[in-house]
Each structure stands twice: as structure tokens, then as C-alpha cells.
Amino acid sequence: MPFKIGTLIDGRYRVTARIGHGGMAEVYEANDVILKKAVAIKLIRENLVNDPINLRRFQNEATIAASLNHPNIVKVYNHGTIAGVPYIANEYIKGQNLKETLDFRGSLPLSEALSYMIQLTNALYYAHQHNIIHRDVKPDNIYVMTDGTIKLGDFGIATSKSINSDLTETKEIIGSVHYLSPEILKGKTASIQSDIYAAGVTFFELITGHVPYEKDSPVNIAVAHIKDKFPSPKKYLPNCSKEVEKIIMKATRKNPNERYRTAKEFNEDLLEIQKRPDLLKEKKSFFAKIFGFK
């Protein structure tokens, strides 16, 4: 049931344009006639309304995201149904997601990637403090505003201890295989540490332009996450500093108990580097300094 331009939803949201669509939803720009501001309206795709799993995932996103209020998380203002079809009214994001940014630019300078990661770990720590595990942290779900602020969105497969749903408690392996932690791929329940792993993979991708395991099939990628050594970012970025490498390697340890215990710890290490720009530079060895090696 596509919206026509000019449609008024719930007596409040006047549709002004169709923005696009994803796997689960059609997205429209609308004007909130009460607050006089632009919002994005997500409408579950018509062919999914009768699919109970996708319907509940859509409703799950609305319920969980609406409970969060953080500057680095896409804000959900309202949700409801129109003609029996669920919709979500959320913050209108002007800008690209980080996947689109990477597709265009290849990779990002360390200082820019660091700013985004500090914001991302802030968002994750806030969500985790509210007993919510995102489960789908990746560049596709991180939106960049024109002022450099990032917003974490797409909470469709998130889990919440305070919102009881057998959908959110499932051990089914869902998410994007390039960012899934070894324990998730072994069928374990999602945790703070699995979000931290995905954030570590995201950091790796932002500065190198590559995902860690570029295999020919999802199965081989999954096996690599479980068995293969996590590659150093120096594989693609030879001048990557030791401190940045250490942060990525700690976030992506195979054993979740060896990763950062919290997103706040991850955030603090990132902030330490931001305070000391010299730590972003590769330190040359004694011989390199003497003989001028690059």
C-alpha cells in the first residue's frame, strides 16, 4: 500500500516524498504538521505484512528504538498502523550511511574514522546500559549527518531483556556474516561482546576499505571468523599505528572474554588516541630514523 504524496498519516504526518526502500520497508519523507519538522516514515512492505517473522521484527524495531534517547541513535518519535499496516515515524537523516561513504571514498582517514568510532561506542554503551544488544552493527546501519554526527539505526533484530519477545531471544544466526562474532556463528546468544566484535570489524573496514575475511561464500567467511587469525589492519594500511592496531585486535579477539568488557572501555581507548594525535602515526624504528627508511 504505497503512500501517495500529500497523504496525511494519523492526522499528523503529511507525506512529501518517497525516499527509497530496503528489504523490509518503504521509506518516505513527511512533514510533522504539529511539530513543523521533517520526519522519515518507514512503512513495512506490503508483501511482508502477512509474514509473522518480518512483521514482528518491524514491530520489534519500533518498540526497542522508541525506548532509546541518545544523540548517536536514530530517534523514533512514534509508531502505529495505517489501514492495518505498521509504520514507524523516526528522525529524518540527511546524509549517507557509512557503507555508501566507503563505496564512494574507498576508506577513511584515521582521524575521521576515530571520530565516528567514538560516537558509535558511545551509542552502544548507552544501548547496553539499557539492556539492548543491537546485533547488526555495520557501516550500512550507521548514518552520517552533514555536521559529522553519526547515528546508529536499524534495531530490527536487536534483543532487549526488558521487552519480552521470543523473537529477540532466538539463537537463530541472523545478521551480516562479515560482522558476526565467532560465538554467534557457533550458535551462542548475542551479548555486549558480540556488538563490540562487530564494532571492531567496522573500525577495521573504515580505515582499510576492506572487511577482514574476503572469501567466496558466506560459509567460508563464517569459518574464517571462527578459525582464522584476525588480520592486522597493516595488511592494507602499512602505516597504521600500533595503538590503533591494538584497539582493533582487542575488540576482535576470538574469545569474547578477552575483548573489551564494555563499549565504554573501547570508547576510552579511542578517546586516548584522539587526545594524542602522535599515537595515530606509525613509529619508525631506530634504524629507519638513522638510514631514512620509509
Which residues form the domain of 64?
10-91
Last residue of a domain, one of 91, 111, 134: 91
> Both 21 and 123 in a single domain?
no
pLDDT (tens place) for every residue of the chain, 294 residues total: 567 888 888 889 999 998 877 667 888 999 999 989 999 998 888 777 778 888 888 888 888 988 899 999 999 998 888 877 888 999 998 888 999 999 999 999 999 999 999 999 999 999 999 999 999 999 999 999 999 999 999 888 898 876 645 544 445 566 789 999 999 999 999 999 999 999 999 999 999 999 999 988 999 999 999 999 999 999 999 999 999 999 999 999 999 999 999 999 999 999 999 988 776 665 554 444 455 544
HSE of 236, CA atoms in CB hemisphere, 13 A? 16
Q: Where are the beta strands (DSSP E) in the chain?
A: 8-9, 13-21, 25-32, 37-44, 76-82, 85-91, 132-133, 142-144, 150-152, 159-160
> Both 69 and 166 in a single domain?
no
Last residue of a domain, one of 59, 91, 123: 91
What CATH code is carried by the domain that includes residue 80?
3.30.200.20
Q: Give the number of domains in the chain.
A: 2
Which position among 10, 32, 51, 136 bears the catalytic label? 136
> Both 154 and 240 in a single domain?
yes
What CATH code is carried by the domain that includes residue 161?
1.10.510.10
**Could you tell me the three cell numbers for 252?**
576482535
Contact 126, 65 (CB under 8 A): no
Report how far residue 231's alpha carbon sits from residue 252's, in angstroms, rounded to the nearest whole number: 10
The pTM for the full model equals 0.88
Looking at residue 286, its pLDDT comes to 47
Report how far residue 153's alpha carbon sits from residue 41's, in angstroms, rounded to the nearest whole number: 14
10 is an active site residue: no
> Both 63 and 129 in a single domain?
no
Report how far residue 86's alpha carbon sits from residue 103's, in angstroms, rounded to the nearest whole number: 32
What 3-state DSSP class applies to 180?
A: coil
